Structure 1
Amino acid sequence: MSKKILLIALSFISVVKAQQLDPLRAENSLEQKQWVDSIMKTMTIDEKIGQLFMMQAYSNKDKKHEKFIADMITKYHVGSLIFMKGTPEKQVVLTNRYQKLAKKVPLLIGFDGEWGLDMRLKNTYRFPWNMTLGAVQDQKLLEKLGERIGEQCKRVGIHVNFAPVVDINTNANNPIIGNRSFGEKKENVAEKSIAFTKGMQKAGVLANAKHFPGHGDTATDSHLTLPTISFTEQRIDSIELYPFKKQFDAGVASVMTAHLSIPSLEGNTSLPSSLSERVVTSLLKEKLGFLGLIFTDGLNMKGAANYSTPAEINLAAFMAGNDILLIPQDVPNTVTLFKESITKGTLTEERLDYSIEKILKAKFLLGLQSFTPIPEENLIEDLNTIEDELLHRELLKNAITLIKDTSNSIPIQNLEDKKIAYVSLGDAKGSYFVRELKNYAKVDVVSDKHLGSLIKKLKKYNLVIVGFHKSNKNPWKSYKYSNKDLVWLQEIARNKNIILDVFASPYSLLQVKTFTNIEGIVLSYQNSKLSQELSAQALFGAFPIKGKLPVSINEDFKAGEGIQTASLKRLEYTIPEAAGFSSTKLSAIDRYIDTILKQKMAPGGQILVARNGKVVYNKSFGYQTDNKRRKVKNSDLYDLASLTKILATLPVVMKLEEDKKLSIYSELDHLLPDYEKSNKDVLNIKQILSHYAQLKSWIPFYTKTLDSVTGKISKDLYRKRKSKEFGIRVARDLYLKSSYKDSIKSFIKDSDLREREGYKYSDLGYYILKDVVESKYKESLDKVVEKEFYKSLGLDRTSYKPLKKFNWKEIVPTEQDDYYRNQLLRGYVHDMGAAMQGGVGGHAGLFANANDVAKIMQMYLQDGYYGGVQYLQPETIDKFNTRYYAEVKNRRGLGFDKPQINPREKPTCGCVSEKSFGHSGFTGTYTWADPNSGILYVFLSNRVYPTMKNRKLVKSNIRTKIQRAIQEAVLN
């Protein structure tokens, strides 16, 4: 083959390839060509020139501005608009109005929405900056993001979104790109930007690769001056151009040319690259073969505007090879100059038609050959959907990056050994972060104006979480540490084991001189509410940490590094749809809450709903009492009453059985010698836990301590002050004789058994089981369950005798007792028998909030596993969650309540599976978990306030009605 023939063949192959990669070519290309040709035949020179301009329009300016834009369209035939600041509602109105004025050829609407419409428009959704996204390893999420932003753009009538930024940010001091870049690795930038582009163009909106040929390694802002790129042509080709070339191969529809001085590409160093024929035509169009639309960067920017007069700049930009002039200045004189240039022959009609054809092809591709007005109804709802938050959550969860963990402290485990403090650095708030941390463990906020005093306060803590919080207002806000923060960080790290969580650009770490004493470093990238909440969850292992560092931090941490962690299966906090619920249907709970409050079934309460380990509803309602002085908070503690059975006594009994220290068939005379030769000696654990032991339902021990004449407490048995003889505290300033505990044991041991066999709910078995537990551990039940379960589970809002740990204001009162203790019961167990045991009963006495109840129940749901610890074996859970007397219509498992067998019983809504389990409590509490559906439900209230005569909550079955509403909220 001759050299000439070879060149012709290669040229033909190149042309064919270019045609295949024409991103503006529609599937119905023949119809597209016919429409373009028909329009061009009727266009005047003025109309053609007008198509080159994309004017800057606002939806938050006055009528004068709106008239100016209208005049540009009608008088100068402007073919495109880029909308800037305003609101989506007004932008849609104006778009429809302006489109009506563009009679022959509809307008191409542009927008600068790199992280979504929020970049310019109020009341729209904000997605993460590109730097945050650069840490995400799942490219499909980037494609989903591009598609969703494309859908939002399309909804408001935008046709081209000037995104993604494909600049490789290799200069940490870049003042204008920075957080807008996906990072410093060319491969990562290319992959992320291609995925984003693919998604957005799938939604029918043109993507735009900017800023060609690469704005990432500059230290000046092209809005203010002309930055210089001093690299060789070879370096630019291998680094800066890499993502652009990949984008072209992937079919990006448009490019934006940057205002840069690049001596290796353009000899005239004062000529911006956007105005350079060598850059735009020779490099972009000819060498790289790009066939899509080419936009200049904003021609009002100083990087271009300082070069010459506006009209001359506009002409130079077009002559360089750009198709559309973005934000041109002085359109009237520009039109005149263009026409003069055509007359003189310096600008040909062929060159003009070349760009007009491309612009019209793009308009046809976008469906503008038959424009229809944009609907104005439901606009805000359409732009702020549940799907947006679901996507946002997934992006942030996948972005969180762990770059150092020398002490293997992340995710945080062994909570029983941890005393955790939180210290805030930076000039923004971290309140959402702290609030979420406290869902997992006791975390104290420690602060001081003086470093020395702060260090002293931190002495009692063995883990300090330092949150560095900077403004999340926009990606250009300063991310830097103050000198004070740097000093404080190093001094805290020198003294304590710390985790530094950075809610700012990773470049902030460049200021940190040494990381030697910092054991753990997490990058959360942005200081948004959602970022703070999710980062706290990641620290405690609610989900894995997967992100990788998008930029290098000196030689300490390289781009692409990131320590991956596993989930500890702790509770995650999210929105209903993330767990397969309908938010709308789940809101039925709120209506039931209104009923509870209006009908005074209880003064207030807490409700928590989770599914598959994801908490989707965790709300407090009403007040602590009907005087409405204190609203119920999520952190407030309720008297759990009989939930104590399955949350305190039962897990310890299960552990004893698992450790072979007893079995479910162990009889009382072998466990407690006192029961030898009693009428209860052969009762076994299985019978007791199944309420099948023929025990009486309860014994009113307290009535035996009342004076038979006055009905008041016996002066022989009670004192107002504690002493060795009177050491059992039953209420405020009220102490029972210490020896009375033995009397209670005797009353139970000597009590008659019921003559009839069968199911009978009884508290007495749990008095006995408490004795069994304490005899095995040689410690009181409260200490045993705290040590074996609560501390490591992170149950810092759960306690017997809560007044020893909590302020009384945090404990919701139960009853205004007028029959025994004659006082308001706040922090003292409502159950009289538990009170007479000093507040620690096997059947009652536990106080907690809904969140802590959920942790234990979730542990059960997860076959005994939670937070990285296997507390109980799956076979143990199964053994105790089994009915052993179902054949005699006994619905109970071992300790656990189960769904009804007898239709007259209503322990549940009747809509849960047979594998489900839970319990209810006398004070108005309830919890239920279903392994089949993964649903966990907690309801806490003080329905016994002001007195236990208030049975409205019980009679209404409202707790199980809420349970049904939860079931019905599950999405199919």
Structure 2
Amino acid sequence: MKQLLILGLSGFMLAGSGSKPALAQVGPVPKLLTADAAATHWVDSVFESLNNDERIAQLIMIRAHSNLGADHVKKITKDIEDNKVGGLIFFQGGPVRQANLTNYYQSISQTPLLIAIDGEWGLGMRLDSVISLPRNLMIGAAQDSSLAYKAGKVLGQQCRRLGVHVDYAPDMDINNNPNNPVINDRSFGQDKTQVARMGVEMIRGIQDQDVMAVAKHFPGHGDTDTDSHLDMPVIHKSRAQLDSLELYPFRQAIKAGIASIMMAHLYIPAIDSTPNTPTSISHKAVVDLLKGEMGYKGIVITDALEMKGIAKFYTGGEEAARSLVAGNDMLMLPSSARGSVEAIKRAIRRGEISWNEVNERVKKVLLAKYNLGLNKPQVIETANLAADLNAVTDTLIKEIGRQSITLLKNDNQLIPFKQHTPAKVAVIAVGADVNNAFLQSIKATRPDINTFIFTSRQSPAQVAPVVERLKNEFQAVIIGVHNYGRRPGNNFGISSAERLLVQRLQQEMPSATVVFGNPYAIQYFCDAPTIVAAYEDDDATQKSAVQLLFGQLIPTGKLPVTVCPNFTYGMGIVPATPPPALALQPLEEIAPAKVGMNAATLTKIDILAQDMIAKGAAPGCEILAMKDGKIVYNKVFGHYDYSSNEPVTHSSIYDLASVTKVCATTMSVMKLYDEGKLSLDGTLGDYLPWVKGSNKANLKIRDVLLHQAGLVSFIPFYQGVLMKNGAPDTALFHSYADSIYSRRVAEHLYMKDCYVDTMYQKILESSLKPQQGYVYSDNDFIFLGKVVESITGQKLNHYVRETFYEPLGMNSTGFKPRERFPLSQIAPTESERSFRMQWIRGDVHDPGAAMFGGVAGHAGLFSNAEDLAVLMQMLLNGGTYGGQRFIKEETIKLFTAYNSNISRRGLGFDKPEKNNGKHGEAYPAKSASSLTFGHTGFTGTCIWVDPQSKLVFIFLSNRVCPAGGDNKKLITMHVRENIMEVLYEAMNQK
């Protein structure tokens, strides 16, 4: 069993058991800051090998280039050998040169160096011969957040190949100031939910490659018109405004397990009004707000301390000391490494910070180094390096270009241009210097089209002749706007002649304009009758624009920012495409009295939860209730296990067990029924060819959903793979994964992939007794999960995530959570004494679902409470949420009604007993109406929705921890039923 050790951090305001402070929260411990015994041993041994100066130096990151020659290399070498700095941040240069220098610098360093780069759009941002990814604003225009994940994955892959451990990405600022000179198109946009959604996915993409992501610039640099590289920006916003907007993406990043957050050099009086105190050196910003109220447990790093936003006030190393005293963990680019060490020692002598605090942060950094693999030598292979770095970008760049391109206006209906319609069309590339890919692609598509170039060097006097010629010789014109700047200064570098030409052509003849680059520049062309935002000016984007112009590409992008009154955030003509991803608002938490519930009565839930823990029914839980679409109760209690080391938090993710049946499989079946792709009177044989010829082929989908098809309750697959000593058969299981043993069942336990076929065969060969009536069966939903996969052509986990969870903003919900979250965020289940013989944490508790690889129709789903509440509220809303319809209302009513004469079941959903509470125990609560629907899970979970009372009730626990299903106290004590009944009682005591 792997024991997780978590470094304690000072300055945290922890939520007490059973309560949620007004502002404070407890975030998860990032994966890079969790440790087993080996990690702790390495950290301690390295720490003990360092003297006090060297320990401080571990917190310092200095600048490095691979293009500044021998003198620069000597300077870096001296800082490594004499000052023992902890890491390097590489800037401009080339990939092979950087690799060679990294190998050299690592070889001379006493302690392995943490290598970082500021590569928000890839290594091409800093290095020659490497292709860059698009800026975040272009990704924000796309409606598919998987693109952000893929972009993050590419960033991580590039970094790993070049020996880089930290990428200072992504930018999580909300750019709501068009004149922002420093953030601008580095942001995903102006909408906080879109920024958070895209940013979180990029974080996961980076960190899934074992690279440290850095969310920046806390607490939000988007609403500034001053460049903090040159001066200190001031943000005059109230704390409430910051909470509702700028801080939102960072809260979501914390929930998602971001490893590091970068502090900005901003003066924000609402946070700290001390003169000349940017947030980067403000104890109130770093400790009180970020580490305290927001519960952040990762590494906090300063923005560059050489920037004028702080250097105008402090220098000589004093800026580093101020930053460390304020609560930062790492110090980026101080003015002097030696000066910083000395200044920090002076601060220690003055009592401003203790050695214990410094040493705690040093160990924190060393632990991150260990988890990034720096406990072992890392030598970068330079052969084919540039080719390897570029190999991962090409396909993604094209995909982002296709999905982001935005048709903002098409009043003259020129787009799509038809063959030879209009008869004579010209295209002019304004600002181009050469016959670029845009012109070449148009010519290849329509050879009859004439091409022209108007460079930025041409004068206003040359505009009129060009306009007259085009008006006289052509019936329409396509205008490409190219080669302008990315920043708002000096009109983005678009000359007065270029602006005049475009505006006159738009006014005087039928035209379609494509703006290649920062969309804020569209502000100069807001009266265009037809205009396209293309976001970048590279070959791939230019070719995508041509495909759009000539009907080969359907636009799917949405404008991520407002550029003028005519073109505002979210605009974009999207014909005949799936609905766009939502800009969802978080669930609102209100006082119970506002929806007619008695708050004092609800405190009885606290007592029931505490009694549950005290009597050993479950070590902890989260309970959430919603009335009329608002959260009225949301509290956490207890710990992950009875050791009381890890408290349950609002970010905790639980194994939902059989709740999977409704929140994944039934949801999918409902959607396919909606779309006419699945018939309730169809049979398993209609959808699963491998079932044909068995006695399961003619089982109707309706009966399978109702658990009355005659299938056995479950098959203990694991019993058939055990040897005489009780251990898994070594012929079927390996301790590591390879191409044959690829199905993860648990830690160091991988099953032979082909054995899954044997499991399905066992189901086909199992007895069938239709006459037995209602028998609750896992096998019913194993079949249904495969039906969904057969119809959609997608794995169940991918289908539900793309169809429901991702559009609904349910970031925590999904299968195989270890792939997306640190273990510290996932509640453990059983200390299993048979089959897997280990502590089960992050792998599905159900052994059958585990043998299926963690994804099955009956079990395997994990989630936190708030995300489940969103899904249930969507059903309560009649299938809509955030303005988008997911399922038809009549479908929900059909599936959640009583559908059987022999049981209480709905189609997939569980329901109250038909004579609920009249002849014995109540289920799920005595006062639950007959409209109520939901499900319970073996691990101690439940979800219930009562449309009559407009009530949503979520209960998540791990009652099987640690002894397994033998602990039935949660059931015998009727904990869930009693808590739900309190909700009804509170409604009746207004």
* TM-score with structure 1 setting the length: 0.55
> Is contact 1:420-1:444 (8 Å) kept?
yes
Determine which of 506, 516, 530 is the counterpart of 2:519.
506
Correspondence for 1:24: 32
The yes-or-no answer on 1:562 pairing with 2:572 is yes
> In structure 1, what is the Cα distance between the partners aligned to 2:450 and 2:261?
51
The alpha-carbon deviation at position 480 of structure 1 amounts to: 4.8
Q: Structure 1, residues 910-944: CA drift from partner, whole Å, max 9, x if none? A: xxxxxxxxxxxxxxxxxxxxxxxxxxxxxxxxxxx
Within 5 Å, give how 1:228-307 maps onto structure 2.
Answer: 228-307=234-313
Within 5 Å, give how 1:347-362 maps onto structure 2.
Answer: 347-362=353-368
Within 5 Å, give how 1:552-951 maps onto structure 2.
Answer: 552-565=562-575
> In structure 1, what is the Cα distance between the partners aligned to 2:258 and 2:27?
14
Correspondence for 2:41: 34
- Which amino acid is the alignment partner of residue 33 of structure 2? R
The yes-or-no answer on 1:116 pairing with 2:114 is no
Q: Structure 1, residues 255-308: CA drift from partner, whole Å, max 9, x if none? A: 111111111111124211101111111111111111111110111111110012
> Is contact 1:481-1:511 (8 Å) kept?
no
Within 5 Å, give how 1:157-236 maps onto structure 2.
Answer: 157-236=163-242
Correspondence for 1:68: 75
- Which amino acid is the alignment partner of residue 211 of structure 1? H
Within 5 Å, give how 1:71-90 maps onto structure 2.
Answer: 71-90=78-97
The alpha-carbon deviation at position 478 of structure 1 amounts to: 6.2
Within 5 Å, give how 1:305-344 maps onto structure 2.
Answer: 305-344=311-350
The alpha-carbon deviation at position 141 of structure 1 amounts to: 1.6
Assess, with a 3 A threshold, how the Cα gap between structure 1 residues 108 and 447 changes in structure 2: closer, same or farther: closer
Q: What secondary structure is seen at the aligned counterpart in 2 of 1:211? A: strand
Correspondence for 1:391: 396
> In structure 1, what is the Cα distance between the partners aligned to 2:491 and 2:67?
27
The alpha-carbon deviation at position 25 of structure 1 amounts to: 3.0
The yes-or-no answer on 1:418 pairing with 2:426 is no
> In structure 2, what is the Cα distance between the partners aligned to 1:96 and 1:477?
43
> Is contact 1:143-1:196 (8 Å) kept?
yes
Q: Structure 1, residues 329-378: CA drift from partner, whole Å, max 9, x if none? A: 12222222222332343321111022112101211110111123122222
- Which amino acid is the alignment partner of residue 403 of structure 1? L
> Is contact 2:475-2:509 (8 Å) kept?
yes
The alpha-carbon deviation at position 460 of structure 1 amounts to: 3.5
Q: Structure 1, residues 505-542: CA drift from partner, whole Å, max 9, x if none? A: 11112234x51xx3211011122222222211221122
> In structure 2, what is the Cα distance between the partners aligned to 1:416 and 1:334?
69
Please, which moves more after superposition, 157-166 or 519-528?
519-528
> Is contact 1:171-1:219 (8 Å) kept?
yes
Assess, with a 3 A threshold, how the Cα gap between structure 1 residues 466 and 69 changes in structure 2: closer, same or farther: same
Assess, with a 3 A threshold, how the Cα gap between structure 1 residues 87 and 357 changes in structure 2: closer, same or farther: same
Q: Which runs of 5+ in 1 are unaligned?
A: 1-5, 568-972
Q: What secondary structure is seen at the aligned counterpart in 1 of 2:61? A: strand
The yes-or-no answer on 1:457 pairing with 2:480 is no
> In structure 2, what is the Cα distance between the partners aligned to 1:478 and 1:369?
50
The alpha-carbon deviation at position 556 of structure 1 amounts to: 1.0
* Count of paired positions: 556
- Which amino acid is the alignment partner of residue 477 of structure 2? V
The alpha-carbon deviation at position 413 of structure 1 amounts to: 2.2
Within 5 Å, give how 1:952-971 maps onto structure 2.
Answer: none
Q: What secondary structure is seen at the aligned counterpart in 2 of 1:500? A: strand
Moved over 6 A (4+): 11-17, 472-478
> In structure 1, what is the Cα distance between the partners aligned to 2:281 and 2:516?
39
- Which amino acid is the alignment partner of residue 190 of structure 1? A
Q: Structure 1, residues 131-165: CA drift from partner, whole Å, max 9, x if none? A: 11111111112111111111111111100000111
Assess, with a 3 A threshold, how the Cα gap between structure 1 residues 342 and 11 changes in structure 2: closer, same or farther: farther
Q: What secondary structure is seen at the aligned counterpart in 2 of 1:355? A: helix
The alpha-carbon deviation at position 414 of structure 1 amounts to: 5.2
The yes-or-no answer on 1:154 pairing with 2:160 is yes
Q: Structure 1, residues 630-673: CA drift from partner, whole Å, max 9, x if none? A: xxxxxxxxxxxxxxxxxxxxxxxxxxxxxxxxxxxxxxxxxxxx
> Is contact 1:479-1:504 (8 Å) kept?
no
Determine which of 546, 552, 556 is the counterpart of 2:556.
546
> In structure 1, what is the Cα distance between the partners aligned to 2:473 and 2:343?
76
Q: Structure 1, residues 588-647: CA drift from partner, whole Å, max 9, x if none? A: xxxxxxxxxxxxxxxxxxxxxxxxxxxxxxxxxxxxxxxxxxxxxxxxxxxxxxxxxxxx
- Which amino acid is the alignment partner of residue 486 of structure 1? R
Assess, with a 3 A threshold, how the Cα gap between structure 1 residues 481 and 472 changes in structure 2: closer, same or farther: closer
- Which amino acid is the alignment partner of residue 43 of structure 2? V
Assess, with a 3 A threshold, how the Cα gap between structure 1 residues 279 and 447 changes in structure 2: closer, same or farther: closer
Of structures 1 and 2, the one with the larger relative CO (CA 8 A, separation 6+) is 2
The alpha-carbon deviation at position 186 of structure 1 amounts to: 0.8
Determine which of 403, 406, 410 is the counterpart of 1:405.
410
> Is contact 1:545-1:566 (8 Å) kept?
no
Q: What secondary structure is seen at the aligned counterpart in 1 of 2:171? A: coil
Determine which of 342, 345, 349 is the counterpart of 2:351.
345
Correspondence for 1:140: 146
Please, which moves more after superposition, 214-223 or 480-489?
480-489
- Which amino acid is the alignment partner of residue 112 of structure 1? D
The yes-or-no answer on 1:438 pairing with 2:443 is yes
Say what the alpha-carbon RMSD is for the aligned residues: 2.5
> In structure 2, what is the Cα distance between the partners aligned to 1:397 and 1:242?
29
Correspondence for 1:522: 532
* TM-score with structure 2 setting the length: 0.54
The alpha-carbon deviation at position 309 of structure 1 amounts to: 2.6
Assess, with a 3 A threshold, how the Cα gap between structure 1 residues 165 and 476 changes in structure 2: closer, same or farther: farther
- Which amino acid is the alignment partner of residue 284 of structure 1? L
Determine which of 99, 102, 110 is the counterpart of 2:106.
99
Correspondence for 1:490: 503
Q: Structure 1, residues 827-849: CA drift from partner, whole Å, max 9, x if none? A: xxxxxxxxxxxxxxxxxxxxxxx
Assess, with a 3 A threshold, how the Cα gap between structure 1 residues 477 and 544 changes in structure 2: closer, same or farther: farther
> In structure 2, what is the Cα distance between the partners aligned to 1:89 and 1:254?
27
Assess, with a 3 A threshold, how the Cα gap between structure 1 residues 414 and 197 changes in structure 2: closer, same or farther: same
The alpha-carbon deviation at position 475 of structure 1 amounts to: 10
- Which amino acid is the alignment partner of residue 338 of structure 2? P
Assess, with a 3 A threshold, how the Cα gap between structure 1 residues 184 and 296 changes in structure 2: closer, same or farther: same
Correspondence for 2:378: 372
> Is contact 2:28-2:296 (8 Å) kept?
no
> Is contact 1:118-1:124 (8 Å) kept?
yes
Q: What secondary structure is seen at the aligned counterpart in 2 of 1:450? A: helix
Q: Structure 1, residues 854-886: CA drift from partner, whole Å, max 9, x if none? A: xxxxxxxxxxxxxxxxxxxxxxxxxxxxxxxxx
- Which amino acid is the alignment partner of residue 406 of structure 2? T
> In structure 1, what is the Cα distance between the partners aligned to 2:191 and 2:463?
39
| Identical residues among aligned pairs (%) | 36
> In structure 2, what is the Cα distance between the partners aligned to 1:216 and 1:539?
33
Q: What secondary structure is seen at the aligned counterpart in 1 of 2:444? A: coil
The alpha-carbon deviation at position 428 of structure 1 amounts to: 5.4
Q: What secondary structure is seen at the aligned counterpart in 2 of 1:216? A: coil
> In structure 1, what is the Cα distance between the partners aligned to 2:38 and 2:489?
45
Q: What secondary structure is seen at the aligned counterpart in 2 of 1:295? A: strand
> Is contact 1:72-1:78 (8 Å) kept?
yes
> Is contact 1:172-1:178 (8 Å) kept?
yes
> Is contact 2:519-2:533 (8 Å) kept?
yes
- Which amino acid is the alignment partner of residue 422 of structure 1? V
